[in-house]
A and B are shown apart, each in its own frame.
Chain A
Amino acid sequence: MREQDPKERIKNFDEVPYGYSEAEAVAEALRCLQCKNPPCVKGCPAEIDIPGFIKAIAEKQFSAASAILLETNNLPAVCGRVCPQEDQCEKLCILRHKAKPIDIGNLERFAADWKLKNGFGQEKPAIAQVIGHKKVAVIGAGPAGLTCAADLAKMNYNVTLFEALHKPGGVLTYGIPEFRLPKDIVMQEVEQIKNLGVDIKYNYIIGKIKTIETLRNQGFKAFFIATGAGLPYFMDILGEDLNGVYSANEFLARVNLMKAYKFPEYDTPVEVGKRVAVIGAGNVAMDSARCALRLGAEKVYIIYRRTENEMPARKDEIYHARQEGIEFHLLTNPIKIIGDETGNVKTIVCIKNELGTVDASGRRRPVPIENSDFEMLMDTVIIAIGNGSNPLLLDTIKELKLTRKNNIEADDAGATNIPDIYAGGDIVTGSATVIAAMGAGKKAAKAIDDFLKTSKS
């Protein structure tokens, strides 16, 4: 895939890979063996007809290709960009034994983008919400909520999607940066979902403005809770309250949701110093590091307590980060942050680790090496070590069963201990992938349909 040159792209927020041209897409699609019993589909949580849409691209039937995608996947342009295809569909592609697997992700992106560019507006007008059909409330307009709402609307339910923020998309909007997932793309795909008849209410925090109980009284017959993992973890070390220390959530929300990278045209500021440390090595950490670089930082470090092998980020993201000049301090853990007299970050003190015995996660436990602590000059520290479950809504549903980590206890179909409440995505699993959340939204939509068909009220 052709990409923006690393030296150039660190000065802008434009998308890094250019995407396939028509000729490139057709050439790649023609490599597909069109397996009778395609293994790639088994790797896809959204169960997309992968050979089907690739065949359509090979035959230059781009509109048909996108239609096949949209049958099962309501956010194909998003998925084509952010799914970890290398661990899912592409990992199972027969061709991996001979040559490279088919680049399914980029083909998906191509077909979905083609539709957004060429096909938008040609489809039938928005289906009006059918009065008399059962009302379903979906809470949270992230990947799980959007998927569930879209599938339920396709089944002709009267769906209202309640979103706490002022924009839809959840992590797709506030978390993943523009250069990896352009916000226009997200908004256009959400527009398609609205065209299915989904009503989205913004600034609407269920648990605050209304409770599940009041919605029940307003005639909602089933609920899908998809509020995500939205409570940032901090490290509980000295100096985390200093100015210049951000949770990755705050940093990314400022940059992406509030467009601080266009400050002062946009009013929301973000302060990024010359030297930036990002703690953690997941996709969120890579996103934070690459944003910091684009906002003018001279040196950006990833500080991670284990080794490269254990990094949770996608290989692609680590590769892109290295390409852009981000430095990795591995087997390193911060122990305190030291500030100056004005309350700003001055240095970060870290300790070196070595790998010990295997822990509960199946990975070798990092063990601090005595007297190995060292200090680095730093202006900004971004903490990207994960998120927990947000209690805001859950506290208002006292009977709802939670796990030890305060996630919602739900079965594979999203059913909870309360018959009309379903849940899915990060609020059930803890931080996971976009596609896993979408898969949960799909399954829950089916389960809610079954529930409403059999329930009497």
Chain B
Amino acid sequence: MYKIIQKRQLNSQVHLIEFEAKDLAMAASAGQFVILRVDEFGERFPLTLYDFDCENGTITVVCQAIGVSTRKLCALSQGDSVLDISGPLGRSEQVQNVGKVIFVGGGVGTAEVYPIAKAMKQAGNDVTVIIGFRTKDLIICEQEIKRICDNLYITTDDGSYGRKGFVTDILKELLAKDSYDLVFAIGPLVMMKSVSGVTKLKSIKTIVSLNSIMIDGTGMCGGCRIKYNEQAKFTCVDGPAFDGHLVDYDDIILRQGRFKNKEEQSTKHYEHKCQIKLK
């Protein structure tokens, strides 16, 4: 059992949750993820580590309530527990001083930008962060990221905050004006695909973080396999970070939908159960 010691709502759908997990916190590093299972009936699902605190023995994740599992997790309160947390999983991000780095975050992916940007800043890099959201109400982690970077740009699709438009608009402008050594992109697959398209033209090394459907997270199920440079790779053990220019995004986008029908059925079942509880 892993107890929730802090929970904070970041926007209407996104929650920050801090768990007691001493051994896990001691082993964790930026860029890694965990697999959670909320209750006996629950799925195992991956979430990237937002933060970890060795002194207090805690780990923090940021979760967007979309499917049944994430909704179950977000419905818990401080003091509640989840049954299982396994990790830290995946390779840790190589943190070194490379010079000028741009981070691009989209939606809830912004939370995953934070730990790596923080570590890269601490390693002495010049860190620029671009984060994009649909609208002002969905903006998360603005203050936290502001504190750990040199420049922060925010875009909203509807122009309700920051620049109206997409993260790639700003990225293109920055790359036109100045030279950069590395780009990190974490967010929706279509965003990471666009970012990789932009940086490929300029031949700037680009790292993306992939979060596929998986069960064990140790390479056993092979469900998270992606096409990468014409080869099969497992995001759980070979990733989650990959060279963005070698990833076949269209293939992953199709694979992410492989349980779509079942997910809808599961959501209906969950909502029905919630209604019964309320009555």
Contact = CB atoms under 8 A, between A and B. Distances in A.
B227 A241 contact: yes
Contact of B262 (A164, A269, A343): A269
A184 to B, nearest CB: 14
29 contacts: A165-B216, A203-B87, A204-B86, A205-B86, A208-B27, A208-B87, A208-B89, A209-B88, A210-B27, A230-B218, A231-B220, A241-B227, A250-B221, A253-B216, A263-B262, A266-B41, A269-B259, A270-B262, A271-B258, A271-B259, A342-B254, A342-B257, A343-B251, A343-B254, A343-B257, A390-B220, A392-B218, A392-B219, A392-B237
Contacts of A234: 222, 225, 232
Given A249-B221, A253-B220, A271-B259, A209 B266 contact: no
B68 interface: yes
Nearest to B224: A250
Interface in B231-279: 232, 237, 251, 254-255, 257-259, 261-263, 265-266, 268-270
B215 interface: yes
A433 interface: no
Given A243-B257, A343-B257, A253 B23 contact: no
Interface in B10-57: 23-24, 27, 37, 41-44
Interface in A260-305: 263-271
Contacts of B254: 243, 342-343
A205 B42 CA distance: 20
A234 B234 CA distance: 12
B86 A166 contact: yes
A297 to B, nearest CB: 15
B107 to A, nearest CB: 23
Q: Is the interface of A mostly helix, strand, loop or mixed?
A: loop
A206 to B, nearest CB: 11
B83 interface: yes
A327 to B, nearest CB: 26
A244 interface: yes
Interface residues of A, number: 40
Contact of B221 (A204, A208, A232, A265): A232
B64 interface: no
A205 B218 contact: yes
A85 to B, nearest CB: 28
B188 to A, nearest CB: 18
Contacts of A343: 251, 254-255, 257-258
Contacts of B44: 166, 258, 268
A257 B84 CA distance: 14
Contacts of B261: 271
Contacts of A103: none
A343 B251 CA distance: 8
Contacts of A134: none
A250 B222 contact: yes
B122 to A, nearest CB: 23
A202 interface: yes
B86 A164 contact: yes
Interface of B: 23-24, 27, 37, 41-44, 68-69, 72, 83-89, 215-216, 218-223, 225-227, 232, 237, 251, 254-255, 257-259, 261-263, 265-266, 268-270
Contacts of B89: 205, 208
Contact of A249 (B24, B222, B251, B255): B222
Contacts of A240: 232
Complex A-B, nearest 4 residue pairs according to Cβ-Cβ distance, in ascending order: A343-B254, A269-B262, A250-B221, A243-B258
A266 B237 CA distance: 26
B215 A253 contact: yes
A353 interface: no
A203 B262 contact: no
Nearest to A202: B84
A231 B84 contact: no
Contacts of B226: 241
B14 to A, nearest CB: 21
A246 interface: yes
A180 interface: no
A247 interface: yes
Given A240-B232, A264-B269, A209 B27 contact: yes
B87 A249 contact: no
B87 A269 contact: no
Given A247-B221, A267-B266, A268-B215, 14 more contacts: A210-B27, A241-B251, A243-B257, A247-B223, A253-B215, A253-B216, A263-B265, A264-B262, A264-B269, A271-B259, A271-B261, A342-B257, A343-B258, A392-B237
A208 B49 CA distance: 14
B142 to A, nearest CB: 32
A232 B220 contact: yes
A329 interface: no
A269 B24 contact: no
A244 B258 CA distance: 7
Contacts of A166: 37, 44, 83-84, 86
B86 A254 contact: no
Contact of B263 (A164, A209, A246, A269): A269
B55 to A, nearest CB: 18
Interface in A174-213: 202-205, 208-210
Contacts of A250: 215, 221-223
A401 B89 CA distance: 25
A247 B234 CA distance: 13
Contact of B215 (A241, A254, A263, A264): A254
Given A241-B227, A241-B232, A267-B68, A253 B218 contact: no
